[in-house]
Amino acid sequence: MRRRLRALAAALFALPLAFAAAPSAHAADPTTMTSGFYVDPDSSPKRWVAANPGDGRAAAINTSIANTPMARWFGSWSGTIGTAAGAYVGAADQRDKLPILVAYNIYHRDHCGGHSGGGAASPAAYADWIAQFAGGIGTRPAVVILEPDSLGDYGCMTQAQIDEREGMLSGALAQFNRQAPNTWVYLDAGNPRWADAATMAQRLHEAGLRQAHGFSLNVSNYFTTAENTAYGNAVNSQLSARYGYTKPFVVDTSRNGNGSDGQWCNPAGRRIGTPTRTGGGAEMLLWIKTPGESDGNCGVGTGSTAGQFLPEVAYKMIHGY
């Protein structure tokens, strides 16, 4: 907690200057308020290792995956969302660590892809859910990835549905600004081969990116860090040229160690990537998707459901085969 106290003291001494400069709602830096990233003690690989100590794959999965900081995903399965998010960030705060959370409950989620379909029952229900999510985090430091795939998943949507989705995302960002001032929120921007940089810049801007700390790339996908960094920089070039601002971005490196073979749903031969860290070509490289958790009933995960932990897939990802 010493870093938290130093950060608070620095903020208090800087108050006159801060008021004069009118800083943004995201002036606080949660990475300096904490001493490293939080390892989820109840992640699916942690639970599997604990339940299968005699399995020959357990030691490798524990060392290479279960003890790496990664995101916890929140949706309808999380129960009362304010309580669930609050308990998770509270546990991290007690350890002076920075938690990574994914908000994944938007109305008509995965509307076109289908493997992860679901989400809130209506735009109003989503607005209530995300307000409780932000309120649960409160003033404690956190990183939030906001609605993976939501801006890439436009292929089958009408303009009215797109406008509705962008309104939900903009409203969500406003809630975090009001209720969670020490949270960095990254609005998800898909991956480098989903939409060109100009298109994604427009979608981000229309969904309220100005209110966010930044945007996220490659969530649950496999493209290399270098390809994502180039794409993120291209999106920022478009944002700068069209709208006069740029934003930091993060890359999901959990499964990109071998890059992509062009498939997105449980492809074989993929490998874990750079563990969660700051820097690395982006603002942060984060494990957002848990290695070994299925993308759906497809590929090497045939017969599984999205989010189900598959130990053999996890083990093969450690070794890249």
Catalytic site includes residue 295? yes
Question: What are the tens digits of pLDDT across the range 138-176?
Answer: 999 999 999 999 999 898 999 999 999 999 999 999 999
Q: Half-sphere exposure of 65 toward its Cβ, with a 13 Å CA cutoff?
A: 34
Using a 10 angstrom Cβ sphere, with 0-12 exposed, 13-18 middle and 19 or more buried, the burial of residue 252 is buried
Q: Percent of the chain having pLDDT more than 70?
A: 91
Per-residue pLDDT band for 27 (boundaries 50, 70, 90) equals: low
Question: Nearest-5° angle of CA 284, CA 290, CA 296?
Answer: 130
Evaluate if residue 250 carries a pLDDT over 80.
Answer: yes
State the pLDDT at residue 118: 85
Catalytic site includes residue 42? no
- d(Cα 138, Cα 124) in Å, to the nearest integer? 21
Evaluate if residue 287 carries a pLDDT over 60.
Answer: yes
Q: Percent of the chain having pLDDT more than 90?
A: 86
State the pLDDT at residue 271: 98
Domain CATH number, residue 8:
3.20.20.40
Question: What are the tens digits of pLDDT across the range 266-283?
Answer: 999 999 999 999 999 999
Evaluate if residue 291 carries a pLDDT over 60.
Answer: yes
Question: Nearest-5° angle of CA 211, CA 183, CA 247?
Answer: 40
- d(Cα 290, Cα 304) in Å, to the nearest integer? 15
Nearest to 290 by CA among 119, 64, 59: 64
- Domain total of the chain: 1
Pick from 19-23, 197-201, 212-216, 297-301: least confident: 19-23
Evaluate if residue 5 carries a pLDDT over 80.
Answer: no
Q: Half-sphere exposure of 47 toward its Cβ, with a 13 Å CA cutoff?
A: 10
State the pLDDT at residue 111: 72
Question: Nearest-5° angle of CA 302, CA 156, CA 261?
Answer: 40
Q: Following DSSP, what letter does each residue of 95-144 receive, concatenated?
A: TT-B-EEEE---TTBTTTT-TT-B--SSHHHHHHHHHHHHHHHTTS-EEE
Alpha carbon dihedral 237, 243, 248, 254, in 10-degree steps, equals -70
- d(Cα 313, Cα 316) in Å, to the nearest integer? 5
State the pLDDT at residue 155: 87
CA of residue 149 relative to chain centroid, distance = 11
Nearest to 103 by CA among 204, 205, 197, 183: 183
* Mean pLDDT along residues 184-211: 98
Whether the CB-CB separation of 268 and 319 falls below 8 Å is answered with no
State the pLDDT at residue 26: 53
* Mean pLDDT along residues 67-79: 98
State the pLDDT at residue 19: 29
pTM of the model: 0.91
Alpha carbon dihedral 158, 162, 163, 165, in 10-degree steps, equals 140
Whole-Å CA distances, 76 to 5, 97, 107:
35, 25, 11
Catalytic site includes residue 110? yes
Catalytic residue (choose from 40, 93, 110, 188) = 110
Catalytic residue (choose from 153, 188, 252, 295) = 295
Question: What are the tens digits of pLDDT across the range 74-120?
Answer: 999 999 999 999 999 999 999 999 999 999 999 999 878 766 778 99
Range of the domain at 150: 2-319
DSSP-based three-state secondary structure for 72: strand
- d(Cα 24, Cα 213) in Å, to the nearest integer? 10
State the pLDDT at residue 10: 41
Catalytic residue (choose from 40, 93, 149, 153) = 149
